[in-house]
């Protein structure tokens, strides 16, 4: 499958503009050197790796999957479309609890992980 660098670049540009950032501002936010690189990305002239793609997606607050495939909603967590589909009907408090739980699972504090997984957690 060929990478459509121009299509990816246009999605980056669309999301950058939603934030109201100039190319210079977005380059600085991403830690890139100057707007020339962002211009090349947005015009499909730059070839870059997954690390750069993920960095741009993270700063834009969108899914890297959306940058690669416009049919994926921009707010879909990367690799978790089924979970995102199930979570869309949760109320804000439930979403907060799920986020807190996932953050706890990824936390390196073993005691917190044990507490989250215990039967007496009180949920």
Whether 106 is in a domain gets the answer yes
CA distance 65 to 75: 9
**The domain containing residue 113 runs over which residues?**
90-117
What is the reported pLDDT for 35? 79
Please tell me whether residues 62 and 98 are part of one structural domain: no
Structural domains counted in the chain: 2
What 3-state DSSP class applies to 118? Answer: coil
What is the reported pLDDT for 109? 54
What is the reported pLDDT for 3? 80
Please tell me whether residues 44 and 9 are part of one structural domain: yes
What is the reported pLDDT for 122? 46
What is the reported pLDDT for 79? 52
pLDDT along the chain (123 residues), means of 10: 86 96 94 88 90 89 83 64 70 78 58 53 44
In the DSSP assignment, the letter for residue 108 is S
Whether 80 is in a domain gets the answer no
State the residue for tokens 């609890």: 97
State the residue for tokens 């993270």: 58
What is the reported pLDDT for 15? 94
What is the reported pLDDT for 59? 92
Secondary-structure percent of the chain, ordered helix, strand, coil, rounded to 5: 65, 0, 35
What is the reported pLDDT for 102? 64
Give the predicted TM-score (pTM) of the model.
Answer: 0.61
CA distance 93 to 43: 41
């Amino acid at each position: 499958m060929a990478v459509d660098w121009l299509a990816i670049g246009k999605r980056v540009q669309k999301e950058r503009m939603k934030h109201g950032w100039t190319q210079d501002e977005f380059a600085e936010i991403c830690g890139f050197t100057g707007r020339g690189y962002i211009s090349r990305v947005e015009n499909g002239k730059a070839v870059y790796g997954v690390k750069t793609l993920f960095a741009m997606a993270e700063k834009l607050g969108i899914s890297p999957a959306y940058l690669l495939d416009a049919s994926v909603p921009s707010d879909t967590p990367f690799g978790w479309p089924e979970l995102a589909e199930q979570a869309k009907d949760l109320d804000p408090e439930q979403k907060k609890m799920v986020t807190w739980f996932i953050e706890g699972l990824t936390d390196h504090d073993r005691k917190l992980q044990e507490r989250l997984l215990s039967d007496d957690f009180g949920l």
